[in-house]
Amino acid sequence: MIPRGGFISFEGIDGSGKSTQARLLAAALQEQGRNVVLTREPGGSPGAEEIRKLVLEGAPDRWSAETEILLFTAARRDHLERTIRPALTAGKIVICDRFADSTRMYQGLRGTGLRRMVDSLHDLMIGQEPDLTLLIDMDPALGLRRALGRNGGEERFESFGQAMQEQMRQGFLDLARAAPDRIRVVDGARTAEAVAADVAQIVAAHLDRTLPA
Ligand code: ADP
Ligand code: TYD
């Protein structure tokens, strides 16, 4: 039998604390002796990191939503082939900061018919979901304040503003309602330690069921 690790993703609006929580979870699992790969999207493999630069830097209208769907899916395919699948096959736990749910929201909500396009391309080219997704939920005003507090050149999506972020928050919560076995909602508007404690509990219960130490 091929050994099979665990695939965990973090999702949520910009600034919700996904990267912080992904790092804390990876450290906690490593401390328990688990073999962990911490990765992110867009990116997570050399080729996908190159696509990340194309898609996150530059003017907000640099790409159409349709082209973005292709670029994010191309990056995901490379990430899956080069990083995620080899790690899962080796029995490792993959913790991924964003995955396909982000494309469903960030590109899929931008116009009529786009969500269907995202899902069709996902079925054709990716065909895999995380075993467990932690949705870090919070008021977009707080997320935006936190996100804008960071500096960097990757501002294409952060200029969307609060109305779009609110639509995305609701969209993420709808996804969670539609896939309650995979997606667990965590209240992100608390200290990083309090959020991490919830995350640790959910992940421990999940791993006890699927991947006993
Ligand atoms: P995301 O990856 O979702 O965009 P980050 O983890 O990068 O979010 O967090 C965004 C900013 O908010 C960072 O500056 C981070 O240090 C800070 N931050 C993260 N979690 C919390 C928290 N629970 N409370 C206050 N600030 C936080
Ligand atoms: P990320 O580095 O996770 O940003 P943040 O830490 O601010 O949450 O992701 C960069 C941006 O890429 C983010 O604004 C969301 C966007 N994105 C998409 O639009 N589609 C996707 O499929 C993914 C994975 C990310």
- 120-135 pLDDT tens trace: 999 999 999 999 999 9
What atom of ligand 1 comes closest to residue 191's alpha carbon? 23
Q: Which residues contact 169 (CB under 8 A, 6 or more apart)?
A: 13, 137, 138, 139, 140
Query: In the chain, where are the structural domains located?
Result: 7-210
Stretches in the chain below the pLDDT threshold 50: 1-2
CA dist 53 and 194 (Å) reads: 33
At 91, which amino acid appears?
G
3 state SS of 55: helix
Q: Is the CB of 198 under 6 A from ligand 1?
A: no
**Confidence at residue 145, expressed as pLDDT on a 0 to 100 scale:** 81
- The SS3 call for residue 184 is strand
pTM score, two decimals? 0.95
143 Cβ closer than 6 Å to some ligand 1 atom: no
7-210 architecture in CATH?
A: 3-Layer(aba) Sandwich (3.40)
Give ligand 2 pocket residues (Cβ under 6 A): 14-15, 18-19, 41-42, 56, 72, 97-98, 102-103, 106-107, 147, 154, 157
Q: Using the atom order of ligand 2, give the atom closest to the CA of residue 147.
A: 7
State phi, psi for 153 to the nearest 5 degrees.
-95, 5
Distance (Å, whole) CA 135 – CA 12: 5
pLDDT at 1: 44
Going by C-beta distance under 8 Å and a sequence separation of 6 or more, which residues neighbour residue 88? Answer: 4, 5, 6, 7, 94
What number does the ligand 1 atom closest to the CA of 22 have?
6
**pLDDT per position as a tens digit, 75-104:** 999 999 999 999 999 999 999 999 999 999
